[in-house]
Amino acid sequence: MSSATWGHQIDLLVRARTPLIWVRSNEEARVESLLGEAAQRLARQLVCWNFIDGISGPVNADGQGSRQPMAMLQWLQQRDAGSPTLLLAKDFHRFCDDPGVARMLRNLEASLRSTPHTLVLCCGQWTPPGDLEESLTLLDLPLPDNNDLRRLISSIGTSSGSPLPAPVLDELAQACSGLSEMRVRQVAARALARRGQLGSEDLQDVLDEKRQTIARSEVLEFCRSDAGTEAIGGLDGLKTWLNQRHRAFSEDARRFGLPLPRGVLLVGPQGTGKSLTAKAIACSWSMPLLRLDVGRLFAGLVGASEARTREMIQRAEAMAPCVLWIDEIDKGFGGDGRSDGGTTQRVLANMLTWMAEKESPVFVVATANGVEKLPPELLRKGRFDEIFMLDLPSSAERRSILELHLERRRPGLKLPLETVVSRSEGFSGAELEQTVIEAMHLAFADNRELTEPDLIGAASQLIPLSRTASEQLERLKQWADGGRARPASVAAGNEA
Q: Is the pLDDT of residue 153 over 70?
A: yes
Instruction: List the beta bridge partners of residue 327.
Output: 293
Residue 173 CA to its chain's centroid (Å)? 19
Q: What is the pLDDT of residue 62?
A: 55
Nearest 5°: phi and psi at 202? -90, 0
Left (φ > 0), alpha (ψ -120 to 50) or beta: where does 397 sit? alpha
Over the chain, what is the mean pLDDT? 85
Q: Using one digit for the tens of pLDDT, what is the confidence trace for 244-261?
A: 998 888 878 888 998 889
Q: What is the pLDDT of residue 59?
A: 60
Cβ–Cβ < 8 Å for 261, 249: yes
Looking at 3.40.50.300, 3.40.50.80, 3.40.1130.10, 3.40.50.720, the CATH number of the domain 229-389 comes to 3.40.50.300
Q: Is the pLDDT of residue 338 over 60?
A: no
Looking at 3.40.50, 1.10.10, 1.10.8, 1.10.3470, the CATH number of the domain 146-216 comes to 1.10.8
Residue type, 16: A
The reply to whether 3-140 and 229-389 are identical in fold is yes
Q: How does strand 45-50 pair with strand 54-55?
A: antiparallel
Go through the chain and tell me how many residues it has. Answer: 496
Instruction: List the beta bridge partners of residue 45.
Output: 85
Q: Name, in order, each residue with C-beta under 8 angstroms of 245's C-beta and a sequence gap of 6 or more.
A: 261, 264, 363, 385
Nearest 5°: phi and psi at 223? -105, 145
User: In the structure, what pLDDT confidence band is assigned to residue 345 with cuts at 50, 70 and 90?
Assistant: confident
Q: Using one digit for the tens of pLDDT, what is the confidence trace for 40-78?
A: 999 999 999 988 888 876 565 555 556 688 988 988 898
For residues 398-422, one letter each, b for 16 or more C-beta atoms within 10 angstroms of the residue's C-beta and e for the rest, the string is bbbbbebbbeeeeeeeebebeebbe
Q: What is the pLDDT of residue 172?
A: 81
Q: Of 128-132, 192-196, 274-278, 314-318, where does the model show the most confidence?
A: 274-278
**Could you tell me where the DSSP H helices lie in 385-469?**
395-409, 418-423, 429-445, 452-461, 465-468
Residues 72 and 170: their CA atoms lie apart, in Å, by: 44
Residue 366: burial class (beta carbons within 10 Å; 0-12, 13-18, 19+): buried
Average the pLDDT over 173-177 and give the result. 79
Q: What is the pLDDT of residue 379?
A: 83
Cβ–Cβ < 8 Å for 271, 430: yes
CA dihedral 161, 166, 168, 170 (to 10 degrees): 120
Residues 279 and 289: their CA atoms lie apart, in Å, by: 7
Residues 67 and 92: their CA atoms lie apart, in Å, by: 11
Residues 410 and 430: their CA atoms lie apart, in Å, by: 18
The superfamily CATH assigns to domain 3-140 is P-loop containing nucleotide triphosphate hydrolases (3.40.50.300)
What does each C-alpha distance from 127 to 105, 230, 313 come to in angstroms? 16, 47, 18
What does each C-alpha distance from 469 to 116, 147, 194, 394 come to in angstroms? 69, 53, 57, 18
Q: Name, in order, each residue with C-beta under 8 angstroms of 77's C-beta and a sequence gap of 6 or more.
A: 107, 108, 111, 112
Q: Number of H helices and number of E strands within the chain?
A: 21, 13
User: In the structure, what pLDDT confidence band is assigned to residue 495 with cuts at 50, 70 and 90?
Assistant: very low
User: In the structure, what pLDDT confidence band is assigned to residue 422 with cuts at 50, 70 and 90?
Assistant: very high
* Helices 181-195, 146-159: inter-axial angle, 10-degree rounding: 30
Looking at 1.10.8.60, 3.10.20.600, 3.40.50.300, 3.90.1150.10, the CATH number of the domain 395-462 comes to 1.10.8.60
Residue 336: burial class (beta carbons within 10 Å; 0-12, 13-18, 19+): exposed
Cβ–Cβ < 8 Å for 455, 418: no
What does each C-alpha distance from 383 to 261, 294, 374, 488 come to in angstroms? 11, 17, 13, 19
Cβ–Cβ < 8 Å for 211, 179: no
Q: Please report, for the chain, the start and end positions of each structural domain, with discontinuous segments joined by +.
A: 3-140, 146-216, 229-389, 395-462
For residues 209-244, one letter each, b for 16 or more C-beta atoms within 10 angstroms of the residue's C-beta and e for the rest, the string is bbeebbeebebbbbbebeebbeebbbbbbbbebbee
What does each C-alpha distance from 198 to 40, 161, 231 come to in angstroms? 32, 10, 36
pTM exceeding 0.85:
no
Average the pLDDT over 328-334 and give the result. 81
Residues 188 and 477: their CA atoms lie apart, in Å, by: 53
* Closest to 261 measured CA to CA, from 219, 307, 334, 320: 320
